[in-house]
Structure 1
Amino acid sequence: MKLSEIKKELNSLTTIAFQLPNGELVPNHFHVTEVGKVTKHFIDCGGTIRNEEIANFQLWEANDYDHRLHPEKLVHIIELSERVLNMPDLEIEVEYQMKDTIGKFSLGFDGTNFLLTSKETTCLAKDNCGIPAEKIKAKIGEWKEKASCCGSDAVCC
């Protein structure tokens, strides 16, 4: 989800809810403690120099159980960040404190809740890293008998 998309969705909501991948909701007294622009400048394992930019939201919960962040306030925070940090319309990554570490999530929306979706690592240089492509496994019963190249109608023999 991009910054423009979350602002559009927030403008149609009266409350904000974030749902974790396991279906649980982030407690509704959460804070958005930062909206930032993160730049990652790196070299992948194939030697390609890469630059990535994302918008980072950090969710945090304290013991102020009566706190509620309203959609219009979050839109204001996002717009201030865009202006002050000169942020283009970036993809959003959300940080949220899990049991033992900070979780990083992509963001979606189901019409009611903002969905924190799991992220996975991958090789960015699959053509250069030397890991063989996975073999395709055929299921028993899906095998087809190979046609002979030397049959009566073949042109190769």
Structure 2
Amino acid sequence: MANDLDALEDWAGALLNKLEPAARSKLARTLAQKLRRSQQQRVKQQLNPDGSAYAARKPRDLKGKKGRIKRQAKMFQKLPKASYLKAKGDGQSITVGFTGRVARIARVHQYGMKDRAEADAPEVRYEQREVLGFAKADLDLIRNTLILSLSST
């Protein structure tokens, strides 16, 4: 995947340098928003960038809460909302990432780290679930958006 990104950067770098700074910033913002949208859809579908499903949740013993908890609730229901998943683009870079406390939760799952579910709970190692990442479709989206943008100027 890193080779694909390097090849894309080499191919697009020279072309992007020929754009005016304002046009480059506008293109970066547009790309950031499109990438955020694709990441949101992938997280809602519970898929890793390679197309595999997220690792299943561990079963929990919720004493006294049997009637109040939705069965088989999906993970990360609120995570892909635009208030948590921010997209930013300027003339030099594009950034798509999480903010605040949600960023910590996403990082724990992204890398399969240890964390506590609650303050008093024991530490648990979470399964790796790639919340953010480039799928082949994302690279195609970037390439097609660049081509469309450069051909219209």
TM-score, normalised by the number of residues in structure 1: 0.26
Larger Rg: 1
Q: Which has the higher helix share?
A: 2
TM-score, normalised by the number of residues in structure 2: 0.26
